[in-house]
Copies of this chain bind each other. A is one copy, B any other.
Amino acid sequence: MEVKGIDGKLEKSDSTSADEISHLSIDIGGSLIKIVYFSTNSKCNTNDEAPMLSKERQEVPNGDLNHHILSGRLYFVKFETSKIEDCIKFLSSKKLQQCGAQCHHSHAVDKIKIKATGGGAFKFADLFKEKLGQTLDKVEEMESLVAGANFLLKTVNHEVYTYIGGQKEYVQIDQNDLYPYLLVNIGSGVSMIKVDGDGKFQRVSGTSVGGGTFLGLGKLLTKCQSFDELLELSHQGNNRVIDMLVGDIYGGLDYSKIGLASTTIASSFGKAISENKELEDYKPEDIARSLLRMISNNIGQIAYLNALRFGLKRIFFGGFFIRDHAYTMDTISVAVDFWSKGEAKAMFLRHEGFLGALGAFMNYKDGSTDSMPPQLVEQQPAKRSSSCIVDRIHNSTCVHENENGAKDCRLRVSSSFKIYDEVKRC
């Protein structure tokens, strides 16, 4: 079976529409649920004879030409884990039906298996059974992350970029020189995984100081209610108000003998020690900035130390902590640069938050060809779609705020081979 992404006609995605979903994977983390689903929009084709597919058919392993090609659209959705009931309502509104090998031949239409990863695949298994009548088909969390990352790194052009001096620079990855690498997935907590090949990996480190710490501490300190609100605050803040800098200790001087500039942070939140101020006396913007810098810098440092430990040339950062946020990426990049004395570079993934869900998606096996995972087939870019290759950060628009206070957003994500429509619930 091949699942084919379609080109970039952008449609308004309606969470209450009754799209037919043929493949669905879900990654239930501590803070966020990430969903990847493939919707055929009620169309189901076998042995599509469109000329553009001839190449893919020749490339099918073991020469099986009876593979099934589905045309449709790949969607990326997220919910807060605390709002899992909304997530289940959303899925209930869809037709979750298997439309694979059997579809044209026998018209047998089964309910799909939901591929599920993350700790919530265990925690909420009973809830999915009760509410959706679905048994979650569990895929191991680290395995999913690695499969998702490997897929993106090997398949998608313009997936990887560095962020230096406020500039994104896309990096072309040579597939023959991809392994080994360090994958740093920053969710609520942080996992660091040494990846040596397809399915070959080891979780070598991690830290509990991650996205959950940023939002958890941020909510307590600033009364912000959402991650994006906190990020927006940090954008306007100045960490020097509350961080103790080298210059604060050294009377404005650098500590040049050991290479610390006067502006280097000596102690995160250290100025709050001696000042006669209470929480209310600090601007939430400044607190958010200090917090973001502390956490980003710490992750960058631990990641670099682990890359060094295993002699890994490349560090890829993923996970929803990053959110394509300039200051976050800048701090991580600077941390890796600082600690490696310029020898290592942080690299980021455009589909950062969906590694696990994508990896679980790759775990689908067609009933008739068990050994063959789905392949998202590159389509010749249509002329009109080239104009759709846009940066996410400029293209996120909130549609409305629903009664739960959750925002339905539409976010168009493009790559050189397809357009993803993403429905975000922030």
Contacts and interface: CB of A to CB of B under 8 A. Distances in A.
Nearest to A118: B249
Interface in A183-207: 187-189, 203, 205, 207
A269 B216 contact: yes
Contact of A267 (B120, B216, B274): B216
A403 interface: no
A129 to B, nearest CB: 13
Nearest to A202: B258
A216 B270 contact: yes
A81 interface: yes
A259 to B, nearest CB: 8
A251 B339 CA distance: 37
A309 interface: yes
A231 B156 CA distance: 50
A31 interface: yes
Given A30-B248, A298-B298, A220 B282 contact: yes
- Contact count band on A: 35 or more
A128 to B, nearest CB: 12
Contacts of A123: 249-252
21 contacts: A30-B266, A30-B270, A30-B273, A118-B249, A119-B246, A119-B249, A119-B266, A123-B251, A187-B267, A188-B270, A189-B244, A205-B301, A208-B294, A211-B267, A212-B244, A212-B268, A215-B273, A216-B267, A216-B273, A221-B279, A309-B309
Interface of A: 29-31, 80-82, 118-120, 122-125, 140-142, 187-189, 203, 205, 207-213, 215-217, 219-221, 223, 242-244, 246, 248-253, 255, 257-258, 265-274, 278-279, 282, 287, 294, 297-298, 301-302, 305-306, 308-309, 339
